Amino acid sequence: MVEQGKDIERLLRIRRRLKARKPVFLRNLWWKFPKFKNDPKWRKPKGIDNPMRLRLKGRPPIVEVGYRSPAAVRGLHPTGLQPVTVSNPAELDRLDPARHIVYIASGVGLRKRLEIIEKAKA
């Protein structure tokens, strides 16, 4: 169990290093057209002569599997805990504080939110 915890910590360090070096992926020619500047999210270049698809020098990088984080830590919080969304106090009973980190659902009102916080502290 202790070895597994050390392995998770090592993989989290690797993920942190990978994320620090990962470029921001934007669509082709996002700098050229105003309609792309307003919404520059990633789109795969598919044109037959597209220089970005051909990975020519000076062009932005393309999304590739090599930028992905290790499978064992994918989706985990940076602390190594598994994130869980909670919408009522009863759901806290099924969670283990050593394994889970709690997020309160956005649709929860103030009264129930305060109940969840009190139960989580207890």
d(C-alpha 76, C-alpha 50), whole Å = 36
Those residues with Cβ within 8 angstroms of residue 74's Cβ, 6 or more apart along the chain or in another chain: 68
d(C-alpha 74, C-alpha 77), whole Å = 9
CA distances, 101 to each of 13, 56, 77, 86 (Å): 19, 43, 8, 10
Sign of CA dihedral 60, 78, 119, 114: negative
64-82, pLDDT tens digit by residue? 998 898 998 899 999 889 9
One-letter amino acid of 12: L
102-111, pLDDT tens digit by residue? 999 999 999 9
Q: Return the percentage of the chain with pLDDT > 70, whole number.
A: 96
